Amino acid sequence: MKKKLILHFEFCILNCFGWRYALMPNKNSDELFHFQENQIQPLTPEELFRQITAEIDFYQQQISILQQQLAVVIGGSTNG
């Protein structure tokens, strides 16, 4: 069974047998899993779009939380 290529990857190298991928289960993982090119299936454009959009949304929420915390610390508002 082919694995879906996840967005978070460490590196890929080309050897005489094709591409070899070292993938992480998530971006905060210390684990690496190694696969040959024929063992993975790239994400579809729709899957990749959803994954990137979800990550953007997550970081926008984190920015908003940090802006609110900053406003409390400085006693003002950081609208923007």
- Per residue in 26-72, pLDDT tens? 777 788 888 887 887 878 899 889 989 999 999 999 999 999 999 99
Q: Which residue has the higher pLDDT, 19 or 4?
A: 19
pLDDT value at residue 77: 54
pLDDT value at residue 22: 78
pLDDT value at residue 80: 54
pTM of the model: 0.56
Cα dihedral 33→24→12→54 (10° resolution): 140
How many angstroms separate the CA atoms of 24 and 21, rounded? Answer: 10
